[in-house]
Structure 1
Amino acid sequence: MYSHTLEYAKTLDQQDELASYRKEFYLPEEKIYMDGNSLGLLSRRAEKTLLELLDSWKVLGIDGWTEGTHPWFYLAEQLGERMAPLVGGKKSEVIATGSTTTNLHQLVSTFYRPAGKRTKILADELNFPSDIYALQSQIRLRGLTSEEHLIRVKSDDGLTLNENRIIDSMTDEVALIVLPSVLYRSGQVLDMKALTNAANDKGIPIGFDLSHSVGSIPHALHEWGVDFAFWCTYKHLNGGPGSVGGLFINERHFGKEAGLAGWFGADKTKQFDMEHTMTAASDAGAYQIGTPHVLNLAPLIGSLEMFEELGMEKIREKSLTLTKYMLDCIETELSDYSFSIGNPLDSSRGGHLLLLHEEAARICKALKAEGVIPDFRAPDGIRLAPVALYNSFEDVWQTVQILKRIMKDETYKQYPNERGVVA
């Protein structure tokens, strides 16, 4: 049991092995940032490498593709190699490319081959909408209907998924499985290893959306036998708004023709031969489509340094400690105000917490007015993400105290209970 005093929170910060990394980031002045699960903060290292890449364009012009500190032509492959340890992949299995949804389209186009009885895609009803939209459109492109061919596993409570129910849904009609690693609302971490083992036993390709887990929890995609994965880099990886995504392809699929072809999927030595017969790369690079967005890759060069220095185990350890401290403070300080916890209470939670309250939209507005940056998720969710690299235990303590004051004084009632344009 933690003590619920400011002095104790400061003591925890003094003992924190990662505390020095807080100085690496530009923290909003006089604010407590609790929305790193939506958009991570800018670090000084990311700023530096962005400016370096901008300068290479300024100084080198087109020669920046092959010259300078970070030649653009090889940047996607190099950053893929550096992200590989974060997802437990081999260096050749990861590429920095596209966005979450374009990478999902690429992977479904590659792995979804409906034939005979196997025509359905297995997903879940709690997944992020963009993933569902992509799956629906891929099914339509094959002349099928999502009403019949998209299975969405039900949730008992609207917050979490039962892995056994997912496994039971892996029938001989399923051609592909696409699931989240961490649920974007409740933060539940799915048992990717068990789900992959079940899918492999049934001969069904399985992939995961790692957007809410990469940079927050460790993975072992290659070891588990996951077929593919995809993710964004602007949340826990702090790559900046619209930063380039990531893609994992298990090496056993190397040589599998990409569903969506483009010239950056070519063998690097053949790409500028300009032949109309494509010679694909022999690794994950084959699943690139278009020219890399160099300036949107640039911040990752600096941001990934911190993950390389620390390793995911230390980051995960602090994340769990931060969220446990916040849960304990919430239980003690907010017990009179009708909040409920929407995330798992054990270590199967990711890097953010979900508070439920019928006045959630109003409460989020009141928190922002008081200098705390939360995240609202309809209809009644307040997501709070104390991030290991830049949030402190004092941040957590202050956030709960401010929330308690808002509820006690009922200042949230001055705001409409509706979300903003961007929640």
Structure 2
Amino acid sequence: MSYASIPLTKNYAGELDAQDELAKYRDEFYLLPSMYLDGNSLGLMSKRAEKSLSDLVQSWKELGIEGWTTGQHPWFFLSEKLGEMSASLVGANPEEVIVTGSTTINLHQMAATFYQPEGKRTKIIATELDFPTDIYALQSHIKLHGLDPDEHLIRVASRDGRLIEEEDIISAMTDEVALVVLPTVLYRSGQLLDIERLTKAAHDKGILIGFDGCHSVGAIPHYFSKWGVDFAYWCNYKYVNAGPGSVGSIYVNRKHFGRTPGLAGWYSSKKDKQFDMEHTLDVCETAGAYQTGTPHMFSLAPLLGSLEMFEEVSVEVLREKSLKLTRYMMDLIEVELTGMGFVIANPQEDERRGGHVSLEHEEAVRICKALKEAGIIPDFRAPNIIRLAPVAFYTTYTEVWESVQILKTIMQEKSYEKFENKRGVVA
């Protein structure tokens, strides 16, 4: 739905807010004095996440070591419980998801397990627009197999520096490819790849395929089991709002159950066998096999509260509002910021757009600093991108309207010019 033909006024934004069925969830979060448009990097803290963290701290205080098997949320089974609660976010069966590790560690686990070069099938496909950690991890596994990353890691090129065409990825799927690892959403431009199409193409050519869901899970519905995706991994601190450094997640299609993980540890064991302390691993026949060591309980805990809200509101409903918010923002930008040097870099089509708006501008660093001074928290990505993420759970249409007006004033007054053209250590 486009708002280009209807009033782009603050009153109209207020009308949209009045009609918003998700508006009540805004009160569930601790809002900042500034307008927060950085939920695609770190989601805001919810009151439920705070409570579930407090509850788990209390269980340690009251139960000591007995907390592993007793209490409201026994620690020994918490990763599995959270995996079951997370399954609907990615369209998976409950046993196909485990909450464990971090994004990069989980990619290392998936690569160690599923990248098994043999014969002439030795190459991995990624893209030149991937988040760097994915590239570093894949390069390291190619090296561990005694191969040259420059030769064996195929980085599919972008035609315009913003987007990746699915046709180009599929064309790279030759009989020399052993594995494909792609983002669900490109972190800079916010492009949503056609996961179903790419999975089918890979499987038609006998190639395993996995996805980095960091910039989509919690904002975009996925149907990994239905599509036959081999594996996926993601963080939970962006759209899932589980807090900084929160534990990540792994999805493994059930057809791979029973496979020995590439990076095994005692938590890879069947739960009832783990404390037998045998030196022969009895591999868990669920996604739980891809755990290694003891879970970080206080990093898991906020996810309990956060996922409660996802049990009440489906990802499909969140996606509907997210698309309306980003469409409204893009329409405002096109009308209010014409001639000011901005380019909307994300796809316009709903089916190709993730959860954030990607704005290119040669003064992106200084504009982001000016936005912060003016009470808006954006996100900068090198070399010239301002990412703005209105999040369905807590961002209002009025905030979207106000943020574009503030950005317009910054550009008209050139107030960004007083700032140094240098990004911070953390951008």
- Worse overlay, 1-10 or 363-372: 1-10
Q: What TM-score comes out, normalization by structure 2 length? A: 0.98
Question: In structure 1, which of residues 313, 321, 326 is the aligned counterpart of residue 324 of structure 2?
Answer: 321
For residues 247-396 of structure 1, the aligned pairs below 5 Å read 247-347=250-350, 348-396=352-400
Partner of 1:405: 409
1:338 Cα offset (Å): 1.1
3-state SS of the aligned residue for 1:110? Answer: helix
Question: In structure 1, which of residues 176, 183, 188 is the aligned counterpart of residue 186 of structure 2?
Answer: 183
Per-residue CA deviation, residues 38-70 of structure 1 (Å, 9 max, x unaligned), is 000000000000000011111111111111111
1:4 Cα offset (Å): 1.9
1:3 Cα offset (Å): 1.5
Per-residue CA deviation, residues 159-217 of structure 1 (Å, 9 max, x unaligned), is 10000110010000001000000000000000000000000111100000000000010
Per-residue CA deviation, residues 128-169 of structure 1 (Å, 9 max, x unaligned), is 000000000011111111011100000011110000110010
1:233 aligns with 2:236: yes
1:336 Cα offset (Å): 2.6
3-state SS of the aligned residue for 2:289? Answer: helix
Partner of 2:48: 45
| 5+ long unaligned stretches in structure 1 | none
| 5+ long unaligned stretches in structure 2 | none
**Counterpart Cα distance in 2 of 1:258 and 1:122:** 21
Per-residue CA deviation, residues 252-281 of structure 1 (Å, 9 max, x unaligned), is 000111000001111000101111111111
- Worse overlay, 53-62 or 363-372: 53-62
Q: What TM-score comes out, normalization by structure 1 length? A: 0.99
Partner of 1:146: 149
Partner of 1:21: 25
Residue type of the alignment partner of 2:142: I
3-state SS of the aligned residue for 1:230? Answer: strand
How many residue pairs match? The answer is 422
RMSD: 0.6
1:6 Cα offset (Å): 1.2
Is the 1:2–1:325 contact (alpha carbons within 8 Å) kept by the matching residues of 2? no
Residue type of the alignment partner of 1:413: E
Question: In structure 1, which of residues 169, 179, 191 is the aligned counterpart of residue 172 of structure 2?
Answer: 169
**Counterpart Cα distance in 1 of 2:42 and 2:58:** 25
Is the 1:139–1:149 contact (alpha carbons within 8 Å) kept by the matching residues of 2? yes
Residue type of the alignment partner of 1:403: L
Residue type of the alignment partner of 2:343: S
What stretches of structure 1 move > 3 A for 4+ residues in a row?
none
Residue type of the alignment partner of 1:121: I
Is the 2:366–2:419 contact (alpha carbons within 8 Å) kept by the matching residues of 1? yes
**Counterpart Cα distance in 1 of 2:243 and 2:142:** 32
1:2 Cα offset (Å): 3.4
For residues 49-64 of structure 1, the aligned pairs below 5 Å read 49-64=52-67
3-state SS of the aligned residue for 1:398? Answer: helix
Percentage of identical aligned residues: 63
Partner of 1:106: 109
Is the 2:259–2:283 contact (alpha carbons within 8 Å) kept by the matching residues of 1? no
**Counterpart Cα distance in 1 of 2:381 and 2:229:** 30
Is the 1:178–1:209 contact (alpha carbons within 8 Å) kept by the matching residues of 2? yes
3-state SS of the aligned residue for 1:223? Answer: helix
3-state SS of the aligned residue for 2:386? Answer: strand
1:83 aligns with 2:86: yes
Question: In structure 1, which of residues 2, 6, 22 is the aligned counterpart of residue 10 of structure 2?
Answer: 6
Residue type of the alignment partner of 2:61: K
3-state SS of the aligned residue for 2:395? Answer: coil
1:416 Cα offset (Å): 1.1
Residue type of the alignment partner of 2:137: A
**Counterpart Cα distance in 2 of 1:309 and 1:288:** 28
**Counterpart Cα distance in 2 of 1:157 and 1:59:** 58
1:33 aligns with 2:36: yes
Is the 2:271–2:284 contact (alpha carbons within 8 Å) kept by the matching residues of 1? yes
**Counterpart Cα distance in 1 of 2:311 and 2:63:** 29
Residue type of the alignment partner of 1:41: L
1:5 Cα offset (Å): 1.5
